[in-house]
Amino acid sequence: MKSTILHIGKDAISIDEPIVILFGENATEAIRDVSVLQRFEDAIDSFVFRVGDAVHFGDQVYHVSHVGENVGENLVELGHVTFVFDPFDPDHFIETSVYLTPHTVPTIEEGMTINYLSKSTDA
């Protein structure tokens, strides 16, 4: 599954917060400033994140270390996913997020491709 970054909100990336919040291109104005907007190449009927899956931001490769609740449904319905680039802590975590390694926020830019690669399908 592939998407293209359309817009990076003015407050979407912070050196103090290791989080990137993505939404589909129909996000509200209020969300646009704090989010990265993406357009998927094809319609998404379903997608399940699993530990070990990969997410490529351009040439930067990340692997899923934890998957929260309802992540797949949010991605399908809203084009929404929150990526956290911090170690997963079972006592303090964002439940609806995907935790990725390495623990460094990727360099992203408008026009960049994001590839979501499932370990089970490699697509």
Rg for the chain, CA atoms, rounded: 13
In this prediction, residue 53 carries a pLDDT of: 96
Per-residue pLDDT reduced to its tens digit, 45-100: 878 899 999 999 999 999 999 999 889 888 888 899 999 999 999 898 888 899 99
CA distances from 95 to 28, 110, 123 (A): 22, 28, 25
Bridge pairing between strands 81-84 and 97-101: parallel
SS3 state at 94: coil
- Please name the helix (run of DSSP H) or strand (run of DSSP E) that holds residue 67, with its range, or none: strand 60-67
> What is d(CA 50, CA 63) in angstroms, rounded to the nearest whole number?
10
Residue ranges per domain, the chain? 2-117
Q: For 2-117, CATH number?
A: 2.40.33.40
pLDDT bin (cut points 50, 70, 90) of residue 121 is: low
Give the model's pLDDT for residue 113.
Answer: 98
Predicted local confidence at residue 23, as pLDDT = 96
Q: For 111, left (φ over 0), alpha (ψ -120 to 50), or beta?
A: left
Name which of 11-15, 55-59, 92-96, 102-106 the model is least confident about: 92-96
Would you say residue 15 has pLDDT above 50?
yes
pLDDT the model gives residue 101 = 98
Averaged pLDDT, 95-112: 96
